[in-house]
Structure 1
């Protein structure tokens, strides 16, 4: 393994998106949901044929005195070399990391508006679930809205099935059961999502955009990730802010409560997080 503070011009992560990354919430220097982050990172390495970093190298990215909340970003590229897309004969993966003070957008725990993006995700089962460095679909989708009152954008695949949000996973309540889309063709399998699935809080089920817009069985909608927690959705809009559908009030739902316990966030009625800096 090699490391660098600056990525060189010939780094394959920079040139081709040839690598993986993780975004980890640290609380007082302790990584939350770390087994899920490590498992996803190792799976991404297996899929891409990357030599994974050892546990000591990964632990070194967070083992420094700290208090409060931080976000740790870990990037692993294949390193430099190779001719064109051909792999280097002796790859030397490059491990980079950065820690940033953080505070969640706690006001969004009460509810947000999200838009339905027009971009459709390509179906590529070989890359489904992993957090690889090529996120151009997400970049394009995020350009679709500029309104400050839209917190996120939902993404469907080329078959019209709901997959995820640009930086979060999607959950919904129907017939008293919380569900999330299967991610076997595209999308990022979030670590908070993985923990909620393992605990039996949510289950997997497909959901078409048509059903999301038209079916009264879809009572509540949520977006969430392992850094921000879970945001209930009040209104689904177009990128221009035109309402498409409104959902039932979702404050302090069992899904949100379970997710925030995993992240150590206080209940909505608890003390303020204003002392935690970003």
Structure 2
């Protein structure tokens, strides 16, 4: 693993950093494949948006890119974290707080064995309701940790988090997509959840295919009646769901169609390190 803090190799953060004290910051997780970063500009736009939403000014994209180019990994998982910086105990943000950028470079995970799809479950942990943080990928991910701790069965790929009303919000590590009457839908994230880059990419791909797209309140019963269900994030790409509880889905022509359209977008939207 390569760890950088403000572009310098480091193995620790100051204990006064607000990321340690409060989870005060934002992050993105992305991949490097064959020396290129798919959807780099989208990732940077999301990072800057999320940082601004909680009052942190993100460094320019080229600063992050220089950190990565200094090590030029051919293939890797990259986690970019932006903390608010250091402060004394207490929630008040000092006027002179200086953000820290953290870059972690690790090997890519093994590819997902997609086949006809993966098995998922419903989590008992509920997604929290906080409109001001809705969609933001902030550093306080405790509810995701609790949700993922609910199972040890390796056959379970991910778990779905429902909100206080019982509607589907997201997976513990993924966004949710479903095919309904020829339209690609995803849960509305106006009260919680993370709006991932691949969620946006899938919508762009579907639009390119001439499909209708939209956000909607997705009850569990509505999800179970969908023609097809997928999970997505920047590391796993688009993964079809084969089973949830007693409901099962078979391979669908849209699996390949949507995956190929996403790959075509990636080819156009890759930032090369060299």
Q: TM-score range by the shorter chain?
A: 0.7 to 0.9
Task: Give 2:199's aligned residue.
Answer: 193
Taking structure 1 as reference, are residues 154 and 148 closer, same or farther at Cα in structure 2, changes over 3 Å only?
same
* 3-state SS, counterpart of residue 260 of structure 2: helix
Return the alpha-carbon distance in structure 2 between the equivalents of residues 177 and 112 of structure 1. Answer: 22
Task: Quote the Cα distance in structure 2 between the aligned partners of 1:109 and 1:40.
Answer: 31
Cα shift at 1:170 = 0.6
The 2-side partners of 1:263 and 1:69 are apart by 15
**Mapping of residues 186-225 of structure 1, within 5 Å:** 186-199=192-205, 200=207, 202-213=213-224, 215=225, 218-225=226-233
Q: What is the rounded CA distance, in whole Å, between the counterparts of 1:74 and 1:207 in structure 2?
A: 31
What is the root-mean-square deviation of aligned Cα atoms in Å?
2.1
Which residue does the alignment assign to 2:158? 152
SS at structure 2 position matched to 1:107:
coil
Q: Using structure 1 for the length normalisation, give the TM-score.
A: 0.84
Q: Deviations over 1:76-131 (max 9, x none)?
A: 10111144001123011111102122155241254110111121111111111111
Q: What is the count of residue pairs matched by the alignment? A: 255
1:115-154 equivalent positions in 2, closer than 5 A: 115-154=121-160
Measured in 1, the distance between the counterparts of 2:162 and 2:75 equals 32
Counterpart of 1:259? 262
- Normalised to the residue count of structure 2, the TM-score between the two structures is 0.85
- Kindly indicate whether the alpha-carbon contact (under 8 Å) linking 1:226 and 1:263 is maintained by their aligned counterparts in 2: no
Secondary structure of the 1:62 match is: helix
For residues 19-43 of structure 1, give each alpha carbon's deviation from its aligned partner in whole angstroms, at most 9, with x where no partner exists: 0011111123322111111111111
SS at match of 1:120: coil
Q: CA deviation at 1:172?
A: 1.0
Kept in 1: contact 2:167–2:218 (CA 8 A): yes
Q: Distance in 1 between matches of 2:57 and 2:87?
A: 15
**Residue range with higher mean Cα deviation, 175-184 or 8-17:** 175-184
Task: Name the SS of the counterpart of 2:218 in structure 1.
Answer: coil
Determine the C-alpha separation between the residues in 2 that align with 1:63 and 1:151.
33
Give 1:268's aligned residue. none
Are the structure 2 counterparts of residues 64 and 27 from structure 1 closer, same or farther at C-alpha, using a change threshold of 3 Å? farther
Q: What does residue 49 of structure 2 align with?
A: 43
| Unmatched segments (≥5 aa) in structure 1 | 238-243, 265-278
Deviates further, 23-32 or 147-156? 23-32
Q: Deviations over 1:127-169 (max 9, x none)?
A: 1111100001100100111101001111111111111101111
Cα deviation, residue 197, structure 1: 2.1
Taking the aligned partners of 1:96 and 1:86, their CA distance within structure 2 comes to: 23
Q: Quick one: distance in 1 between partners of 2:264 and 2:116? A: 16
Question: How far apart, in 2, do the equivalents of 1:19 and 1:74 lie?
Answer: 11
CA distance in 1, matches of 2:187, 2:13: 35
